[in-house]
Structure 1
């Protein structure tokens, strides 16, 4: 029952974690036990590996990594009605306190008590099995693969961002960053009704992948072209209705209003560990609306439905797959940030 364990900053191992077996030996009446199949490598997993912390969340004890997952139900609690043994599923990794004010208001993702896989001190799921609440476990249609299902978690961020942006049919959008979150945000913006989405990055290969996703995606190399000038030139000087910041770069975040149209919306997705420059004057003269994203809420079923219908295709974003026994090497490669890779995944033994 080996798991991928972050022992401390820069040190990973594949080993047994006996406390997990003890904690999950008993199944609650509303829980399911899941045999994991595919787990995506997220930027936050890599950041914990290379830095040992993200903001206030610090790895102070060994922690199992992984939170983007799919698998098969192998046991159900006595009160579970909508799932059965053998169902293929994906899982929402954040479990809030059902009695908190945030949860009661429908904002369970910002519940301070939320327990999120692979966020210290909560273990993740790069391991053979896990126990999870059935309410946060979603059955997969037959035409959605385990690999696609493990993409639901990052896709949920993009769908949540598009929802917060209040996309209207025909909107023009900009996505800063062509990493996994930037690209799922571009796909989500198009699915929500955008007519055109400009995607900018410094990596040529990622921009090639972005362009391959849709004729409505316009790649812009951030080092070779002025994004704001291009957007204004192609919108009769008006600008983009929505700008999604998905880089986490202070420099990129400082310029979010440059390409924005009057009355437009900026959606901040990329995490910023430190305070950033904010051009209040540029925001004011545009009467810009600014939204902030923290994970997602209420969107997993929508994501699964869009994958099943073909409204969104995430398969081109999965650029490399590793066997579980290659997990340490997979993280070493991910930490090197290969420019040709978007999403790497790990498959567990079946």
Structure 2
């Protein structure tokens, strides 16, 4: 089947790839015809760097893990899905017998197999076989494009859950990329009265300001800590979500945090960062970390269907499948104003 293949660092191709014969439909699996696949920052990083940390691309690999599609075949024991159902898919499949999975922590199972994470292939291809338990039926009012946003939205919802948002909290989201903006939406949906979002891209900050009670701060010309302390009468925010993966931003996560506040690290740090224990201690700050998500896909689908969260403004460009290589080249250039780019496959 024709797939978008990362051959090696900085080399992509659309070509036939013999993966279909590797994917046998089990009794509790479904075969899905892909419709829409989002371009994630991790996909782009594999393309531009050939790897990320311990995950290195050592053989041609199909990219893509933010996906939606239609069930075209169901295994003999599948009971919750049928042919024709529109679905989105959680891309990580854990070992059901691992200790982490049995404790409910399946996202940190060391044996988890996650789409487009070497050596596991992604889903920028016509079809994929996936377990019923990690495939979720879409309500009629949720589009394929919105459904392909469930995967990044799940990160934000998981982060808001880890932060234990309480009604009326004020939060800061560092970074106005896709993960930063879905985290801001999740924080508002969870009960935050107000969210500050910081970045250096005015166009992304303008978009953020239209999403709800969000105050944008351009840190290239504004002092973030001072802006927040002024707006909160010197108290600070209850929650800081670090979504930029910026060492400089991470060094300052406690500066605008109120006493007993919470910090959630979401952005991937490629190298060790400075961490001011003294600033954390005097605040009795609680620090959490997020690795993907767990148990939140149904919540995300429900919030999209109810209108509690609207991700449509975050989808800024859509490409056809034949344009996939060009789409990645554009994504890798990090154009201003672009948040989430998606690829639609032929139907």
Distance 1:77 1:253 in 2: 46
1:62 aligns with 2:83: no
Cα distance in structure 1, aligned partners of 2:151 and 2:266 = 14
* Cα deviation 1:57-86 (Å, max 9, x = unaligned): 000000000000000000000000000000
State the SS of the aligned residue for 2:210. helix
1:154 to 152, 155, 168: 152
Kindly state the Cα deviation for residue 194 of structure 1 after the two structures are TM-superposed. 0.1
- Give distance in 1, aligned partners of 2:118 and 2:246: 24
- Root mean square deviation of aligned Cα: 0.4
Q: How many Å apart are 1:32 and its aligned residue?
A: 0.1
Equivalents in 2 of 1:232, 1:322: separation in Å? 42
Whether 1:23 aligns to 2:22 is yes
The answer to whether the aligner puts 1:273 opposite 2:270 as a matched pair is: yes
Deviation (angstroms), 1:154:
0.1
Q: How far does residue 340 in structure 1 lie from its aligned partner after superposition?
A: 1.1
Size of the aligned set, in residue pairs, is 347
> Structure 2-normalised TM-score?
1.00
Does residue 1:163 correspond to 2:174, yes or no? no
Listed as ranges, the matches of 1:61-140 within 5 Å are 61-140=59-138
State whether structure 2 residue 307 is matched by structure 1 residue 300. no
Extract unaligned runs of 5+ from structure 1.
none
Deviation at 1:21, TM superposition (A): 1.4
Aligned partner of residue 181 in structure 1, secondary structure: helix
Give the C-alpha shift of residue 164 in structure 1: 0.1
The answer on 1:314 being equivalent to 2:311 is: yes
User: By how many angstroms is 1:224 displaced?
Assistant: 1.1
User: Could you list the per-position Cα deviations for residues 207-237 of structure 1 after superposition, in whole angstroms to 9, with x for gaps in the alignment?
Assistant: 01100111x1000001111111111111111
Report the Cα distance in structure 2 between the residues aligned to 1:209 and 1:339, rounded to whole angstroms. 12
Q: Gaps (5+ residues) in structure 2?
A: none
Residue 189 of structure 1 aligns with which residue? Answer: 187
Q: Distance in 2 between matches of 1:303 and 1:151?
A: 9
Write the distance in 2 (CA, Å) between the matches of 1:2 and 1:128.
Answer: 7
Out of 331, 336, 343, which is 2:333 matched to? Answer: 336
Q: What do the CA deviations read for 1:62-121 (whole angstroms, capped 9, x no partner)?
A: 000000000000000000000000000000000000000000000000000000000000
SS in 2 for 1:159: helix
Equivalent-residue separation in structure 2 for 1:195 and 1:226 (angstroms): 22
CA distance in 2, matches of 1:297, 1:318: 24
The within-5 A match list for 1:130-279 is 130-214=128-212, 216-279=213-276
Distance in 2 of aligned mates of 1:158 and 1:93: 16
Show structure 1 runs of 4+ deviating over 6 A.
none
* Cα offset, 1:23, TM superposition: 0.8
